[in-house]
Amino acid sequence: MRTAADQQEALRFWVLGAFAVLLCAGSAFSYLHSMVYGIAAGDLLGVAGREADVAFAQRWAKIWLLISVCGVGVSGLAGALATPIFADTPRLPQFIGRLVVALLVSFLLAILIGWVYFSIVYGSHHSLLR
């Protein structure tokens, strides 16, 4: 029979894990949003009279990129607090090890989510039947 501590640990794992995955997805979409503003700024470079639009697009591209990086960082922190790996080490090395692993997994998961989303969007524009 499971104890209350085991149930609380399992609940913490699933809640923080789900939060970390949602932050990874948000980070991927924020990065794609940043790319859209960057592409828009690049398209408007050199067009007379559109300097304010270029500055606007560049500013929002920077903001969305910052949101994306913060999302991956917080996702890594949530993952580090959720995982039970390295349980036999002292507290500080344990947290650093968990954080490094969680940041790597968060970054890879954000890339995977962005790639899948981009593939779906690209595939929906190119029909298999022509």
Model pLDDT, residue 108? 96
Backbone φ, ψ for residue 9 (5° rounding): -65, -40
Model pLDDT, residue 125? 79
Model pLDDT, residue 28? 94
Model pLDDT, residue 33? 94
Distance CA 30, CA 80 (A): 22
Mean pLDDT by 10 residues, the chain (130 residues): 83 93 94 94 92 95 96 94 91 94 95 92 72
Q: Pull the structure tokens for residue 78.
A: 């949530």
The sign one gets for the Cα dihedral 15, 16, 21, 27 is positive
- Largest Cα span, the chain: 73
> pTM of the full predicted structure?
0.85
Please provide the distance, in angstroms rounded to a whole number, between the alpha carbons at the two ends of the chain: 60
Q: What is the domain partition of the chain in residue ranges? A: 8-125
- How many residues comprise the chain? 130
